[in-house]
Amino acid sequence: MKRKTLTQYLVEQQRAEHALGSEVRLLIEIVSRACKTISHAVSKGALGGVLGSLESENVQGEVQKKLDVISNEVLLEANEWGGHLAAMASEEMETIHLIPNRYPKGEFLLLFDPLDGSSNIDINVSIGTIFSVLRAPASASGREITEEDFLQPGSTQVVAGYAIYGPQTMLVLTIGQGVMGFTLDREMGSWLLTHENMTIPADTKEFAINMSNMRHWAPPVRRYIDECLAGKTGVRGKDFNTRWIAAMVADVHRLITRGGIFMYPWDAREPGKPGKLRLMYEANPMSMLVEQAGGASTDGTQRILDIQPTSLHQRVGVVLGSKNEVELVTRYHHEASKSA
Ligand code: F6P
């Protein structure tokens, strides 16, 4: 069977009515090439000397793994020279990365979590790269990009995607025209379209949440999970299954493939923080993908893509996946705040 390559898909999208711009096409090609390089490094593991941690901490105060830093550098280097970007931002860097003056600048902003699920690296379990593309505001034309230029709601994203480094390496992408999954053919070195128009069923019997935090959850989350756990004889009238890979990219990939609900909600461990996951590098791109696949995504009360960011490294509660389940959790939050 002759499959479409990523390049063929993108060229078709350029010719389509919605005419994908040539800068965006170049951007996607370059990001996907960088993901190939990261995939190669990941698959070498101990043989490539890439496992383990460094002495350093990132801006979030987390110990950096060697692969966090390698992946960040690969993405920065790959995207500097193409002339398609105005600036980049990464979960691993405190401030934004401007395109050096020796290169031409474009009109897009690239954000990424270079290696999501770092705690899985050393145990040989799936990890990934998540990315998001925004257009630089018109007001930024002719001046240097600032952090504020990145603070746009997720609904303005032009592209969102991730690469997952698992048993297969896959690139899952949306340009706002559905969700497409490409598998890396290692011999050919090309991304081939294997999963066209990925869709999330509205109902599911599978939930993903870190159960060890149960005692810290807010009552609506507790209520939802208690009802799932009650199974067939409970109010939901069906048995649920649970999965937790501890890499958002892998948990989201599962639900984009076969449905499910994923939650990393606010909890009382650090009550001042709205959640663990980052709005700009994780929640926004994943929410765009999930919505494009027919699912839903909220922070418990509000659609994530509508949130106006106030800082680059902002955190957020996340509830996303199969539509009917996400709506139920969101309703429980609204009911709880009404009765409070
Ligand atoms: O980026 C944070 C992250 O690694 C996510 O990919 C993942 O869903 C989550 O943290 C896992 O958190 P925990 O260690 O609490 O299970």
Sequence spans of domains, the chain = 6-195, 206-339
Asked whether 247 lines ligand 1 (CB < 6 A), one says yes
Is the pLDDT at 58 greater than 80, yes or no?
no
Is the pLDDT at 7 greater than 90, yes or no?
yes
pLDDT bucket at 54, cuts 50 / 70 / 90 = confident
Share of the chain above pLDDT 90, in %: 91
Architecture of domain 6-195: 2-Layer Sandwich (3.30)
74-99: pLDDT as tens digits: 999 999 999 999 999 999 999 999 99
Burial of 288 (0-12, 13-18, 19+ CB in 10 A): buried
Strand partners, 242: 207
Asked whether 246 lines ligand 1 (CB < 6 A), one says yes
What burial letters (b/e) apply to 27-42, b meaning 16+ CB within 10 Å? bbbbbbebbbebbbbb
Alpha carbon distance 49, 67 (integer Å): 10
Strand partners, 162: 130, 172
Alpha carbon distance 186, 40 (integer Å): 9
CB 65 within 8 A of CB 115: yes
Alpha carbon distance 245, 69 (integer Å): 22
Asked whether 68 lines ligand 1 (CB < 6 A), one says no
Count of CB atoms situated within 10 Å of the CB of 138: 7
Residue at token pair 């770092």: 118
Alpha carbon distance 268, 64 (integer Å): 25
pLDDT bucket at 227, cuts 50 / 70 / 90 = very high
- Mean pLDDT taken over the chain: 96
**In what helix (H) or strand (E) does residue 327 lie, and over which residues does it extend?**
helix 323-339
Span 238-265, mean pLDDT? 98
Residue at token pair 């018109």: 138
Tell me the two tokens of residue 146. 């600032």
Count of CB atoms situated within 10 Å of the CB of 45: 14
Q: Ligand 1: which residue has its CA nearest to atom 12?
A: 246
Domain 206-339 has CATH 3.40.190.80: yes
Is the pLDDT at 61 greater than 80, yes or no?
no
Asked whether 159 lines ligand 1 (CB < 6 A), one says no
Asked whether 317 lines ligand 1 (CB < 6 A), one says no
Rounded to 5°, the CA angle 7-8-9 comes to: 90
pLDDT bucket at 52, cuts 50 / 70 / 90 = confident
Strand partners, 319: 263, 298
Best residue among 60, 63, 210 to mutate for probing ligand 1, ranked by most atoms within 8 Å of CB: 210
Count of CB atoms situated within 10 Å of the CB of 212: 8
Closest approach atom of ligand 1 to CA 116: 6
